Chain A
Amino acid sequence: MSGSMSVAGTVEAAAQVVLVAAGSPLLVGVMRQVKARLEGRAGAGVLQPWRDLRKLLRKEAITPDGTGPVFRAAPLVLTATALVAAGIVPIATTASPLDGAADLFAVTALLALGTVALALAALDTATAFGGMGASREMTVLALVEPTILMSVFALSVPAGSTNLGAIVNSTLHEPQRVASPVSLLAAVALAVVVIAEAGRIPVDNPATHLELTMIHEAMVLEYAGPDLALVEWASAMRLTVLLGLVANLFAPWGIASADTAAAALAALPLALAVFAVKVAVLGGALAAGEVFMAKLRMFRVPELLAGSFVMALLAVAASFFLA
């Protein structure tokens, strides 16, 4: 039984990694399309990110002068952390074999590891752009950390564990908890964090190439060809994983959490489809929101993050004082 369950868990985890890997460029495509339509443009189509990746992968690999192994390894590390995170996070199943290996802290730390690799690569280029991007990214990362950990704290109190599978299962068993003040406050806080981590407006503008406003784009300025493809792909996967995390922590319905291996596998296609819809809806909402918002000044970002930190702290306080 447990043997067949773990086999089923492995299959499900592999399926969710494949879904994230294949679907994340489509998510980016959907978001761009939503944005384009709202701005009155026709848009390039949902498949355009995949076409871009294919084009980049066919190009020659470039090593800029003076860069070293860190520069070459960073896209690999970034992509690897995103893939591993996709295997851990409960996207289609709560029974991933990696679920016990990494809790929510470990997942956020893992994603931070990818960011750090990219920041080091940016510094390795010895250009002012790279340094600027790395410096800004690290500042945002440092300030985001308290909010992440505080929202994790708030979410883990009812479940009694920081393991993602346990949190999702506990929400599945007590659905009314989703509407509690704790959950709502934590959701808002985590949403801000996700926006900051994924580098979306109002923290960062993924479409900009203007020196004064770049954060993420400044870091990857020297990448070209297959390396750039990896970086773009990894960014899309991180966005998918983060949105999926929010979706399934606060609305886990549809996830496969059956007791037997056969039932779990049977529920898998539906779970994957539901997940795709949830993430597409969240992504579309995010893109629609971006149309109406301007990017914040770099030094107003701490205010936004402080605000989300207040929400997270209130969530923790409420989880104790209102319990």
Chain B
Amino acid sequence: MTSVTGAALSASLGASLLAAVAGAALPRRVRPAGAGLCTAVAGAAAVVAGVAAMTGRSWSAWLPELLPLAGVRLAVDPLGGLFIAVTGAVAVCAAVYGVGYARPPRDGHGHGLDGRTVQAVLPLFVAAMLLVPAAASVSTFLVAWELMALASLLLVVAEHRHRASVGTAGLWYAVMTHLGLVAILAGLAGLAAAAHGESFDRLRAAAEGLSPAVRGAVFVATFAGFASKAGIIPLHVWLPRAHPEAPSHVSALMSAAMVNLGGYGIVRVGFDLLGGGPVWWWLLVLAAGAVSALYGILQAAVATDLKRLLAYSTCENMGLVLVGLGAGGLLLTAGARPPAALALTAALLHVVNHAAFKTLLFLAAGSVLRATGLRDLDALGGLRTRMPLTTAAFAVGALAASALPLGNGFVSEWLLLQSLIGSLGEGGTISAVTMPVAVAALALSAGLAVATFVKAFGTGFLARPRTPQAQAAAESPATMGVGMGVAAACCLALALVPAFTAPGLAGAVQVVLPGQDALTGQVTLRLAAASSTVSPLLIAVSVVGAVALLRIAMIRRARRRARLWDCGMGPLNARMEYTATSFAEPLQRVFDDVLAPETDLNVTPLAESAYLVESVTYRARVGDRIERRLYRPVVAAAAAVGEAARRLANGSVHRYLAYGFGTFTGVLILLAVTR
């Protein structure tokens, strides 16, 4: 039965290639549909492959001819299968959605998304993301990783002709992703060199005997690389730039599927290949995760660009995943296996949940963007009557993202909290100090997430339209609705009966922690490591039932329309509404010291008297403080070095030749001296 996984994965990769060919060859009119449907088939096949692998049908293959020197080594175990299934599911939603999204809206001028490049590269991006968790050797992994990075880079800059900011975002992304690649390359190459082999099996066998210094160096290098892919603070700078600027279905793929692979890398290398490590590794992971969760959601809470808000929320959620992984590692080091399994299960379930609701949210945001051309929450509003489907989709996603009951984010955050609380007595003083802090970080990020998504949904979709563009919005085509609908259905299923993921998650966790079953129960979730229980389905049924009863009890007469309370000043208009900025202002003031907003107040007095004001301008901007403090100096230094290097090249051919000659003789002299 091992062939189901292999056959489905091969079918998926084949369908992706077919989609790429279709995207390159078909005429423009049918191109999005052809490529999109093939990609959706590829995604569906990947889901089949992943689920088969998670339920124990592992598969491996060695294709020595495909790559020179090392060949391609593939192996799908339950852990890889989980990420393949998630990527596949996201790909299905994004591909179907993309069919409609690529078609130019009513007014005719398209975003150029139905061009050959985008249509051909998108399936390749999906294929690369499927190959990363299937890779079973260092070279295969790195090739797949780089393919993924390049494909996503091409997709991020797809709309560079329309907005100048796309180019900047692409540049940041290119630099950060390649620095990350260098870190991973260095780490894995070092590991392979020390292990005298590059297949993952060989590494796993040799990792025991390596010196702690080598293991630590490998872990830190790969962690830096994977963390930058996962958008972990302070390596996140590319994420809030690239995700908003990419086409929305690509944002969904990046934010819901690609960043997960950073988490996958940490599990694969830290837990599986290196077999766990000392406490400081996991404290590093935990601290990075907690900081990321807090800073990410704080930036999201004050963001007014809808897609930037979602991007920062990705930083937050990947931070939560890392908190789970770090706690798991910490507990594993302390020898507490059941709580460790619970923490890892929570982290992986959060990966799944985040993928589901972030796909939905980005697709809904894309639908808004396509209909109005706006991402600024301060300019939106009133979409609920104009785009009811999109509004409903965003509501489901926002409920999930704010980790409230009836949403799927609640389940995994609940598990994460249980694992942190249950581990208080397990790891000695270190866990006794870190776990309360981690719980506090988690709690604050959950609270801020509620505020963030109330803001996003309340100001973006409810109330009145604030601009003519929002006023003129119309519902998106059916294919986009189908894409959002599939994602919403996944969210609801995960929210109501999360137990159906338990066997798959248990399989994935058992790859690194054999023999541990963290989660049992069908309707009520029971934990192996703690005696707490929760039943999302019962809660949902009770609340919905109570709402229905009250509704029946309250229906009696027709409702009468009436004017809003306007303080007797005449009708209210849209300029009097609270905007997203004003909504977030109290939070911005509370966290003033962390966010350091730049405010600028100019009062122009009248010429006659300094006490009479002619005009007042107020400008406030909340930038990314880490970017300003950490990266600007580095970028400035790099620019200065580059500027200095220009003096080396003054255009004289003789000078250039002299450089070559000088270097050549210099090397020869060096050889002569040292030999």
User: How many residues of B are counted as interface, with CB atoms below 8 angstroms from the partner's CB atoms?
Assistant: 77
Residues of B within 8 A of A243 (CB): none
Q: Is the CB of B450 within 8 A of A138?
A: yes
Q: Is the CB of A63 within 8 A of B457?
A: no
Q: How far apart are B547's CB and chain A's nearest CB, in angstroms? A: 4
> In the bound complex, how far is the Cα of B417 from the Cα of A131, in angstroms?
32
Which of B421, B424, B448 makes the CB contact (< 8 A) with A142?
A: B448
Q: Is the CB of B524 within 8 A of A123?
A: no
Residues of B within 8 A of A135 (CB): 578, 582-586
Residues of A within 8 A of B450 (CB): 112, 116, 138, 141-142, 145
Binary per-residue interface labels of chain A (228-248) against chain B in the complex, 1 for a CB within 8 Å, 0 otherwise = 001000000000000000000
Q: Is the CB of A120 within 8 A of B530?
A: no
Binary per-residue interface labels of chain A (52-89) against chain B in the complex, 1 for a CB within 8 Å, 0 otherwise = 00000000111111101110110011011101100100
Binary per-residue interface labels of chain B (402-445) against chain A in the complex, 1 for a CB within 8 Å, 0 otherwise = 11111000100010011001001100000010001001101110
Q: Is the CB of B572 within 8 A of A316?
A: no
Q: Give chain A interface residues in 86-113, CB to chain B under 8 Å.
A: 87, 98, 100-103, 105-106, 109-110, 112-113
Using A112-B404, A128-B578 as known contacts, say yes or no to A103 and B533 having CB atoms under 8 A apart: yes
Binary per-residue interface labels of chain A (299-323) against chain B in the complex, 1 for a CB within 8 Å, 0 otherwise = 1001000000100010011011101
Using A129-B565, A139-B586, A161-B530 as known contacts, say yes or no to A79 and B550 having CB atoms under 8 A apart: yes
Using A76-B551, A109-B403 as known contacts, say yes or no to A131 and B578 having CB atoms under 8 A apart: yes
Q: Give chain A interface residues in 39-62, CB to chain B under 8 Å.
A: 60-62
Whether A271 is near chain B, meaning CB under 8 Å from some CB there, is no
Whether A136 is near chain B, meaning CB under 8 Å from some CB there, is yes
* Subset of 20 A-B contacts with CB under 8 Å: A64-B562, A83-B546, A105-B414, A106-B410, A112-B450, A120-B457, A123-B458, A126-B463, A126-B564, A126-B576, A131-B582, A135-B578, A138-B583, A139-B451, A142-B447, A143-B444, A156-B421, A161-B531, A221-B565, A316-B436
Q: How far apart are B307's CB and chain A's nearest CB, in angstroms? A: 20
Residues of B within 8 A of A226 (CB): 554, 556
Binary per-residue interface labels of chain B (558-582) against chain A in the complex, 1 for a CB within 8 Å, 0 otherwise = 1111111110000010101110001
Q: Is the CB of A138 within 8 A of B577?
A: no
> In the bound complex, how far is the Cα of B565 from the Cα of A70, in angstroms?
18
Q: Is the CB of A64 within 8 A of B564?
A: yes
Which of B531, B554, B582 makes the CB contact (< 8 A) with A166?
A: B531
Residues of A within 8 A of B543 (CB): 77, 80-81, 84, 110, 113
Q: Is the CB of A124 within 8 A of B462?
A: yes
Q: Which of B70-78, B534-542, B617-625 contacts A (4 or more CB under 8 A)?
A: B534-542
Whether A10 is near chain B, meaning CB under 8 Å from some CB there, is no
Whether B1 is near chain A, meaning CB under 8 Å from some CB there, is no
Whether B464 is near chain A, meaning CB under 8 Å from some CB there, is yes
Whether A23 is near chain B, meaning CB under 8 Å from some CB there, is no
Residues of A within 8 A of B542 (CB): 84, 87, 98, 101
Residues of A within 8 A of B384 (CB): 68-70
> In the bound complex, how far is the Cα of B74 from the Cα of A228, in angstroms?
63
Q: How far apart are B74's CB and chain A's nearest CB, in angstroms? A: 41
Whether B459 is near chain A, meaning CB under 8 Å from some CB there, is yes
Give me the interface of B with A, judged by CB distance under 8 Å. Answer: 301, 381, 384-385, 402-406, 410, 414, 417-418, 421, 424-425, 432, 436, 439-440, 442-444, 446-448, 450-451, 454-455, 457-459, 462-464, 524, 530-535, 538-539, 542-544, 546-547, 550-551, 554, 556-566, 572, 574, 576-578, 582-587, 589-590
Whether A149 is near chain B, meaning CB under 8 Å from some CB there, is yes
Residues of A within 8 A of B554 (CB): 76, 226, 230
Residues of B within 8 A of A69 (CB): 384
Add 15 more A-B contacts to A98-B538, A113-B543, A141-B451 (CB < 8 A). A66-B464, A68-B385, A102-B539, A113-B404, A119-B454, A123-B458, A139-B587, A145-B446, A146-B444, A149-B417, A153-B436, A157-B424, A222-B565, A316-B436, A320-B432
Whether A132 is near chain B, meaning CB under 8 Å from some CB there, is yes
Q: Is the CB of B564 within 8 A of A222?
A: yes
> In the bound complex, how far is the Cα of B375 from the Cα of A248, in angstroms?
48
Residues of B within 8 A of A119 (CB): 454, 458
Identify the closest chain A residue to B444 (Cβ): A146
> In the bound complex, how far is the Cα of B591 from the Cα of A139, in angstroms?
11
Q: Is the CB of B524 within 8 A of A101?
A: yes
Residues of B within 8 A of A72 (CB): 559
Give me the interface of A with B, judged by CB distance under 8 Å. Answer: 60-66, 68-70, 72-73, 76-77, 79-81, 83-84, 87, 98, 100-103, 105-106, 109-110, 112-113, 116, 119-120, 123-132, 134-136, 138-139, 141-146, 148-150, 153, 156-157, 160-163, 166, 221-222, 224, 226, 230, 298-299, 302, 309, 313, 316-317, 319-321, 323
Which of A60, A63, A68, A150 makes the CB contact (< 8 A) with B440?
A: A150
Residues of A within 8 A of B565 (CB): 64, 127, 129, 221-222
Which of A61, A73, A224 makes the CB contact (< 8 A) with B557?
A: A61
> In the bound complex, how far is the Cα of B440 from the Cα of A142, in angstroms?
12
Q: How far apart are A97's CB and chain B's nearest CB, in angstroms? A: 9
> In the bound complex, how far is the Cα of B533 from the Cα of A160, in angstroms?
12
Residues of B within 8 A of A80 (CB): 543-544, 546-547, 550
Q: Is the CB of B447 within 8 A of A146?
A: yes
> In the bound complex, how far is the Cα of B458 from the Cα of A132, in angstroms?
12
Q: How far apart are B442's CB and chain A's nearest CB, in angstroms? A: 7
Q: Is the CB of A145 within 8 A of B447?
A: yes
Using A64-B564, A123-B459, A222-B565 as known contacts, say yes or no to A143 and B421 having CB atoms under 8 A apart: no
Residues of B within 8 A of A100 (CB): 524, 533, 535
Q: How far apart are B400's CB and chain A's nearest CB, in angstroms? A: 12
Using A106-B405, A109-B403, A320-B424 as known contacts, say yes or no to A63 and B559 having CB atoms under 8 A apart: yes
Main secondary structure of the interface of A (DSSP, over half): helix
Q: Which of B524, B539, B558, B585 has the most CB of A within 10 A?
A: B539
Q: Is the CB of A136 within 8 A of B586?
A: yes
Q: Is the CB of B462 within 8 A of A70?
A: yes
> In the bound complex, how far is the Cα of B556 from the Cα of A220, in angstroms?
22
Residues of B within 8 A of A128 (CB): 576-578
Residues of A within 8 A of B572 (CB): 126-127
> In the bound complex, how far is the Cα of B403 from the Cα of A106, in angstroms?
10
Using A61-B560, A66-B564, A76-B547 as known contacts, say yes or no to A106 and B524 having CB atoms under 8 A apart: no
Which of B458, B533, B557 makes the CB contact (< 8 A) with A120?
A: B458
Residues of B within 8 A of A302 (CB): 590
Q: Is the CB of A106 within 8 A of B531?
A: no
> In the bound complex, how far is the Cα of B554 from the Cα of A226, in angstroms?
8
Residues of B within 8 A of A153 (CB): 421, 424, 436, 439
Using A66-B564, A80-B547 as known contacts, say yes or no to A102 and B531 having CB atoms under 8 A apart: no
Residues of A within 8 A of B551 (CB): 76
> In the bound complex, how far is the Cα of B558 from the Cα of A112, in angstroms?
30
Q: How far apart are B429's CB and chain A's nearest CB, in angstroms? A: 9
> In the bound complex, how far is the Cα of B204 from the Cα of A192, in angstroms?
52
Residues of B within 8 A of A68 (CB): 384-385, 462
Q: How far apart are A57's CB and chain B's nearest CB, in angstroms? A: 9
Using A124-B463, A150-B443, A153-B421 as known contacts, say yes or no to A160 and B530 having CB atoms under 8 A apart: yes
Using A138-B455, A299-B589 as known contacts, say yes or no to A106 and B534 having CB atoms under 8 A apart: yes
> In the bound complex, how far is the Cα of B410 from the Cα of A103, in angstroms?
13
Q: Is the CB of A101 within 8 A of B539?
A: yes
Residues of A within 8 A of B558 (CB): 61
Q: How far apart are A304's CB and chain B's nearest CB, in angstroms? A: 12
Q: How far apart are B544's CB and chain A's nearest CB, in angstroms? A: 8
Which of A132, A163, A319 makes the CB contact (< 8 A) with B532?
A: A163
> In the bound complex, how far is the Cα of B310 from the Cα of A315, in angstroms?
35
Using A103-B533, A163-B533 as known contacts, say yes or no to A148 and B458 having CB atoms under 8 A apart: no
Residues of A within 8 A of B566 (CB): 127
> In the bound complex, how far is the Cα of B558 from the Cα of A163, in angstroms?
43
Q: Is the CB of A139 within 8 A of B550?
A: no
Q: Is the CB of A109 within 8 A of B404?
A: yes
Residues of A within 8 A of B534 (CB): 101-103, 105-106
Q: Is the CB of A105 within 8 A of B417?
A: yes
Residues of A within 8 A of B564 (CB): 64-66, 125-127, 222
